[in-house]
Structure 1
Amino acid sequence: MASVNEPAEDREDRIEKVTKPHDLGEFYLNTRTGEIEEGKVSGSLNRMGPYPSREAAAEAYEKAANRNEAWDEADKAWNADE
């Protein structure tokens, strides 16, 4: 373990690199532009994800629309039972 008294240049070769999201293969859908981005390029207000692949990110809107439709149907069924 490096001592805090060691000069930084002596410790630098032992410092582990931090893995960034794009190194992990995370993809996001930019909801403003419709573009697929690798890593957290856009702000969180304009981003859906993460997704494991570009293809999964490209299908994000369709999946969200299908889920919303299913939830709307479930709400209608729930309210009809009251």
Structure 2
Amino acid sequence: MADWYYNPSTGEVSEGKVGSWANRMGPYATREQAENALKIVQARNKAADAEDEKDDDWGDPAAR
């Protein structure tokens, strides 16, 4: 089974490691996943940001 990659510079999807690592997102299991790489990254970033916000909520400040 081949890996699929998305090139954010060109918007192209490739099978296998084509091009520089700096212009390669992946690997993805399917071509369709690679085509949706930016949507996948956006969803993962949103979830990670939500986790960070929960971690930053330490509740009420300590009493003095």
- The answer to whether TM tops 0.5 is yes
Q: CA deviation at 1:35?
A: 0.7
Q: CA deviation at 1:25?
A: 2.1
Give the aligned partner of residue 58 of structure 2.
Answer: 81
Task: Flag the structure with more relative contact order, 1 or 2, with Cα contacts below 8 A and sequence separation at least 6.
Answer: 2
Q: CA deviation at 1:69?
A: 0.7
Identity of aligned residues (%): 41
Give the aligned partner of residue 43 of structure 1.
Answer: 20
Aligned residue pair count: 59
Decide which of 29, 37, 58 is 1:52's aligned counterpart. Answer: 29
TM-score, structure 2 as length reference: 0.78
Report the structure number with the largest CA radius of gyration.
1
Unaligned 5+ segments in structure 2 are 60-64
Q: CA deviation at 1:68?
A: 0.6
Give the aligned partner of residue 6 of structure 2.
Answer: 29
Distance (whole Å) between structure 2 residues aligned to residue 70 and residue 30 of structure 1: 23
Structure with higher strand content: 2
Are 1:67 and 2:47 an aligned pair?
no
Unaligned 5+ segments in structure 1 are 1-23
| Runs of 4+ displaced beyond 3 Å | none
